[in-house]
Amino acid sequence: MKFVRPTDTKRAEKYTGYKIGGISPFGTRRNMKIYLQESVLILSKVYINGGRRGLLIEMAPDNLVSVLEPEIVDIMQSR
C-alpha cells in the first residue's frame, strides 16, 4: 500500500450504511478491506466506534484482529 486517504462523506455513508460520526468496521453494508495500524497492537485496549455516534466499544487489539481480520499496515509517516 502506497498511501491512504479518507473518502468523502457521501461515499462513506453509502458503502458502510452508517452516518458520519458513527461509522464502524462492524456490520457494514458492503464487505470492505479493513486496515489496522500496526502500532495499535502494543496497546492493552482500544476503543472503536460501535455503529452510532457516541457508542464506543472497548476491545483488546488481539480480539479486534480476531474478529475483523484486518491487514496490518504501517502508515505512519515522519515529517
Q: Classify the phi-psi angles of 17: left when phi > 0, otherwise alpha if psi is within -120 to 50, otherwise beta.
A: left
Does residue 61 lie within any of the structural domains? Answer: yes
CB 40 within 8 A of CB 74: no
Report pLDDT for 48: 94
Does residue 20 lie within any of the structural domains? Answer: yes
Does residue 79 lie within any of the structural domains? Answer: no
Does residue 4 lie within any of the structural domains? Answer: no
Q: How many domains does the chain have?
A: 1
Domain that holds residue 67: 9-73
CA–CA separation, 41 and 61 (whole Å): 6
Q: What is the CATH number of the domain that holds 29?
A: 3.90.960.10
Q: What is the pLDDT of residues 9-63, one digit of tens each?
A: 999 999 999 999 899 999 898 898 899 999 999 999 999 999 988 999 999 999 9
- Per-residue DSSP letter, 41: G
Report pLDDT for 75: 82
